[in-house]
């Protein structure tokens, strides 16, 4: 899934400046619907891997397009605050999703999760029809340099590499929590409470996001990043 999402983000990110945003979003949602529907046809590990790859590509396309939408319509002087509000949608969804998924799986069946996911994609498609199409701003000299680059430079902007490396390490640390949370909670007898981890995570993020966005706009990125990284380390220590 992650590999597919990487490819979806890379290729959509490269051509997003030349694409119609609304049509790209609708296409990615249709792609996502098809990918989720394919889960009902899985009969082997190989097919599962292929479906996960396809689903990752679709998700990468959709998330890149919606991210571009948000960054384009948010005023430049309130960029941090605006994108912070937008990011709340992903945070809340990633918290409520696992909670509902575990609940549905316990009370109904695993296949019921796929049905709910299909309904969510349909709702997203209907709502996206009411989103106004927007024109991308003129490509500046820095982006022209990226567009004229060769090889891997067509997909990666060198100025973004340092902070990307930082996020990679943060992601590795947090992904370990996600991967082993369920089994660890079962081991210590807290399996029933494990799903609430995501709800608490969503609530705390919902409270903090607007504040950090304003701090970012008023004082710069460093005033946000350094304290947040320290708090992240403290959180992992307490969780351990």
CATH number of the structural domain spanning residue 98: 1.20.1250.20
pTM above 0.85, yes or no: no
Calpha distance 189→93 (Å, rounded): 26
Q: Residue 148: inside a domain, yes or no?
A: no
Query: What's the confidence (pLDDT) of residue 144?
Result: 52
Closest CA relative to residue 174, chosen from 229, 129, 116, 101: 229
8 A C-beta contact, residue 91 and residue 202: yes
Q: Which two tokens stand for residue 84?
A: 């912070």
pLDDT digits (tens, 9 = 90+) for 181-204: 777 777 777 766 776 777 787 788
Q: Residue 225: inside a domain, yes or no?
A: yes
pLDDT digits (tens, 9 = 90+) for 78-115: 777 777 777 778 777 877 787 788 778 778 877 888 89
Query: What's the confidence (pLDDT) of residue 176?
Result: 80
CB count within 10 Å of CB 185 equals 16
Task: Domain of residue 7: give its range.
Answer: 1-135
Do both 126 and 179 map to the same domain?
A: no
For the chain, give the longest Cα–Cα distance: 57
Specify the 3-state DSSP secondary structure of 44.
coil
Do both 105 and 224 map to the same domain?
A: no
Q: Which two tokens stand for residue 228?
A: 């947040």
Burial class for 13, CB neighbours closer than 10 Å (0-12, 13-18, 19+): buried
């Amino acid at each position: 899934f992650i590999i597919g999402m990487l490819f979806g983000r890379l290729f959509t990110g490269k051509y997003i400046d030349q694409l119609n945003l609304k049509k790209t979003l609708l296409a990615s949602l249709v792609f996502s619907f098809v990918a989720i529907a394919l889960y009902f046809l899985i009969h082997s590990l190989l097919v599962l891997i292929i479906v996960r790859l396809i689903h990752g590509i679709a998700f990468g396309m959709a998330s890149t397009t919606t991210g571009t939408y948000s960054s384009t319509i948010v005023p430049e002087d309130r960029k941090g605050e605006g994108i912070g509000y937008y990011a709340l949608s992903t945070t809340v969804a990633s918290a409520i999703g696992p909670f509902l998924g575990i609940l549905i799986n316990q009370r109904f069946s695993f296949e019921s999760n796929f049905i709910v996911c299909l309904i969510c994609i349909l709702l997203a498609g209907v709502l996206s029809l009411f989103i106004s199409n927007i024109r991308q701003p003129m490509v500046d000299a820095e982006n022209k340099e990226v567009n004229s680059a060769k090889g891997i430079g067509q997909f990666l902007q060198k100025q973004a590499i340092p902070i990307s490396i930082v996020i990679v390490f943060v992601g590795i640390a947090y992904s370990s929590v996600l991967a082993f949370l369920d089994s660890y909670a079962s081991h210590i007898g807290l399996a029933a409470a494990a799903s609430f981890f995501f709800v608490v995570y969503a609530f705390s993020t919902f409270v903090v996001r607007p504040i950090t966005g304003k701090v970012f706009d008023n004082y710069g990125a460093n005033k946000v990043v350094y304290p947040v990284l320290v708090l992240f380390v403290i959180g992992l220590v307490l969780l351990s």
